[in-house]
Chains A and B, each alone.
Chain A
């Protein structure tokens, strides 16, 4: 694989314009930023929200867990109490409510880890600390050998403060 190129920008709109151009040309681009850019990146990529499925599945599992725990244990270990139902509604509702939220939260967290592919402690992913400070990074990959200089020039032309060839991790 050819060497990727990283352009560090001061302004987000400059970076987005460069990213759109490079993406349309067929390069793979990855944006790095110190803050969430949200809608600013819509011209480059629009993602669907898959986290909601994890939250929903977690919520359903939590709901079933709460019902089974309260009603199931009441049925398995019968504790007769005069005048009171074997399957009480109030505690079942309350505990189910809590367990729905608890398992929903845990599944949402797991969903984030799965989709964002974190945690990752290896060294095979590119990173520069400058993008946690005040620079917006644009990593361009899939560049043919003879096109590297062209991409570097283009990044400069779009306003990159710093353009570097990045070692393949």
Chain B
């Protein structure tokens, strides 16, 4: 990055926030309308008519909404966790991509949390999960894994927002200095009076390190706790000790794939080729390859241990998932997208091909969504008593809300790139190096 000047970095990043093309507005309005209609409209109808409009019925009381919840929580592991790990390990290639990745975390946790409200049926009763003594003198039941979720996700969302905002303070100050009009007071307020003194940098750096240290075990615990929503039940196919690492690995896998897809879009649309280089895709794809191998290993372990145990209930769950259409089609598609396609990243030439990166990363997230769907849709309909077996097919309302969530997420991300510096200005400058009389010095 030696050919880029400090001034150029400020100009490039602020330009993305102040100069808007018609294409951006078309994309934003499309996402907003689709999110409102597909998600908002369908949800309003569901609230008005009742949960009967979904495909949920005895014995399947958890459906696509919870699959979506797990999927979006998984996507959230892209940003904050990855950013924190790469920060602690002082990995320089983190600098250009971490800001947007952290934003992905916040928006996906938000989307995931909304799915809990959708799933609740009566969202206005959400306060029942809050720990306060009601007039009945009865507190929430902390022994329920659902309550673990409430605490874990609230903590994760709060910490992720703090992590994102805190790391952005110097950049918000840089934006404050360059914008005019209505933006000026907003960024003045957000920049908190940052001046860039040695003392401010020192305390920012120390605090940021502590945030990263807190965030890493938190992120691991969040997806472990999400896995325990399922694994602490006595349902065949769900009651597995391997679920926590399986979910954490899957989350990092899908989250990293989401980063790759969004970085390609960000790079092209905001003309960030100078900052998000092929080296970034090379490193991210290597990480995808490693996560794919880990994910495949856990899948094999899960299947083989059930196969070896040879109990009728576990055999039925496996048979229902792997060999009975339509779930079998989804299962084998998942294996292709998550275990086979990422093997292309063994070759450096393919790791640095934008086309391959996009195809494989989207494929991984399709596969990861299928994985979460199959966990729900192939276990609850096949519990212990065959006379209670009943298939689950999502209704149009559920599908509409699912599709709407992707537009909702895209809308939030589009708003983000306009109101927030999507690439870290000061850390990209660190990448360029510290100017010395004899040239740039890099850490």
Contact = CB atoms under 8 A, between A and B. Distances in A.
Interface of A: 10-14, 30-38, 40-41, 44-45, 47, 49, 51-52, 55, 69-70, 73-74, 76-77, 79, 81, 84, 88, 90-92, 94-95, 97-99, 101-102, 104-106, 108-109, 111-112, 115-116, 118-122, 125-127, 129, 131-134, 159
B202 A47 contact: yes
B434 A88 contact: no
B142 interface: yes
B193 A125 contact: yes
A112 B197 contact: no
B196 interface: yes
Interface in B142-193: 142-143, 147-148, 151-152, 154-155, 158-159, 162, 166, 170, 173-174, 177-178, 188-189, 192-193
A10 B206 contact: no
Secondary structure call for the B interface = helix
Contacts of A49: 206
Interface string B187-213: 011001111111111111111001100
Q: Chain B CB within 10 Å — which of A69, A116, A127, A159 has the most?
A: A116
B206 A51 contact: yes
Q: Chain B CB within 10 Å — which of A76, A84, A98, A132 has the most?
A: A132
Given A11-B437, A12-B434, A121 B188 contact: yes
Nearest first, the 10 A-B pairs at minimum CB distance are A120-B193, A134-B6, A119-B192, A129-B177, A36-B201, A31-B198, A112-B207, A102-B155, A116-B203, A73-B139
Given A79-B141, A108-B211, A133-B6, A32 B203 contact: no
A132 B196 contact: yes
Given A12-B436, A115-B203, A36 B195 contact: no
A118 B142 contact: no
Q: Chain A CB within 10 Å — which of B152, B178, B434 has the most?
A: B434
Nearest to A56: B210
A41 B198 contact: yes
A118 B196 contact: no
Contacts of B5: 134
B133 interface: yes
B225 interface: yes
A134 B10 CA distance: 9
A116 B200 contact: yes
Contacts of B290: none
Q: Chain B CB within 10 Å — which of A36, A52, A118, A134 has the most?
A: A36
A55 B225 CA distance: 24
B155 A98 contact: yes
Given A51-B206, A118-B200, A94 B193 contact: no
B17 interface: no
B131 to A, nearest CB: 6
B436 A11 contact: yes
A34 B207 contact: no
Given A101-B214, A105-B158, A125-B195, 12 more contacts: A30-B198, A31-B198, A32-B196, A38-B443, A79-B141, A94-B152, A98-B155, A99-B151, A101-B218, A105-B162, A112-B166, A116-B199
Given A51-B207, A77-B139, A119-B193, A40 B437 contact: no
B221 interface: yes
28 contacts: A12-B441, A14-B437, A31-B197, A35-B430, A36-B426, A38-B201, A76-B139, A77-B137, A77-B139, A81-B143, A91-B148, A92-B142, A94-B221, A95-B147, A97-B217, A101-B214, A108-B207, A108-B210, A108-B211, A109-B166, A109-B207, A112-B204, A116-B199, A116-B200, A119-B192, A120-B193, A133-B6, A133-B10
B7 interface: yes
A108 B261 CA distance: 33
A144 to B, nearest CB: 24
A73 B159 CA distance: 25
A7 B150 CA distance: 53
Nearest to B429: A35
Given A36-B426, A73-B142, A102-B155, A131 B196 contact: yes
B309 interface: no
Contacts of A112: 166, 203-204, 207
A150 to B, nearest CB: 24
A78 B376 CA distance: 34
A118 B165 CA distance: 14
Contacts of A90: 143
Contacts of B152: 94, 98
Contacts of B151: 94-95, 98-99
B138 interface: yes
Given A36-B426, A37-B201, A116-B204, A105 B211 contact: yes
